[in-house]
Structure 1
């Protein structure tokens, strides 16, 4: 429980920093399906937020079919509002406070990472066929992570109400979600 509160506090601080510099805060379109998010062939998953429709995208960083051992994941913003399709890198604060990652282990076709805001849950990036996927336990089931949705309080962007993980189970191929809240 303490880990979840720590995760929520980190996201809350980042939301404050983003909200204070944002001109528009639109209601989030819960449509986080890959077809609606300008996917790249290397897209592992993305984070959608209730503050606006922009996404934080996580792509496998590879060369010649192998993960880059120094930087196995590319993380960037995908604009879906003012300049749809435009991408921007993360700021130093965004990487350190919430959207960055830490490499736990790396091999030729496999990498284990943790997200800065939630280091308690490991994500495994591995080759599946001709592309890379991100495997994680969702609702105690092994799944391929597709997205995370972060719901902030509409009256206080510092207050994260919950985070929802969305994926596809690896054994049956059915959608699975898990809502993590305080």
Structure 2
């Protein structure tokens, strides 16, 4: 019984990870370089980069009068880094629901817990730490501030995910941490 539950959960995770790339319309062979401009904002919590092109999906904290909007804590949008560098676009309905959106799990006084549509097993907490809003999660069994996710598509099939890599900074040591979730 326990094994079948684990298999079902793993299957759901694999389907969710695959959804990251369902919205990809242009499949190119560009690999994102961390040195390239990510057009950061003061509100940016983290972003998703993909192996299929240089464009980013950005997740900014949603503030009202300097405080977290706990009901809708994130502003999510695309940043173009190819044809029209720096241009931003909103997500389509399908992109929000299946791949790059998020679901509010709970809300506190000045914090919210969410999950990403394509990765519902990983809880993310949006809260204030040292006078700045951050996205807290667990990366490689360490409490960490999430900085980015990288989605590597399988060679020859941009809609199939080879792995997702989470990158951040461990809150207890201040060191960089990375976790790779393979399909």
Per mean C-alpha deviation after superposition, the further-off stretch among 88-97 and 125-134 is 125-134
**Count of matched residue pairs:** 177
Mean CA deviation greater in 98-107 or 143-152: 98-107
Residue in structure 2 matched with residue 58 of structure 1 by the alignment: 59
- Map of 1:10 onto structure 2: 16
Query: What is the CA-CA distance between 1:14 and the residue it aligns to?
Result: 5.0
Shift of 1:15: 2.1
Aligned Cα RMSD in Å?
1.8
Relative to structure 1, the CA distance from residue 27 to residue 61 in structure 2 (aligned partners, 3 Å threshold; closer, same or farther) is same
1:77-108 Cα shifts (integer Å, max 9, x gaps): 01111111110011010111111101111123
Say whether residues 1:122 and 2:123 are aligned partners.
Answer: yes
In structure 2, relative to structure 1, the CA distance for the partners of 1:60 and 1:160 (3 Å cut) is: same
Match of 1:153 in 2: 154
Structure 1 length as normaliser, TM-score? 0.89
TM superposition score normalised by structure 2: 0.89
The 8 Å contact of residues 125 and 134 in structure 1, kept in 2 or not, is answered as yes
- Shift in alpha-carbon separation, 1:136–1:13, aligned structure 2, 3 A: closer
* Secondary structure in structure 1 of the residue aligned to 2:21: helix
Q: Which residue of 2 aligns with 1:77?
A: 78
Instruction: Give structure 1 stretches of 5+ with no counterpart.
Output: none
Aligned to 2:28: 25
Unaligned runs of 5+ in 2: 1-6
2:4 is matched with none
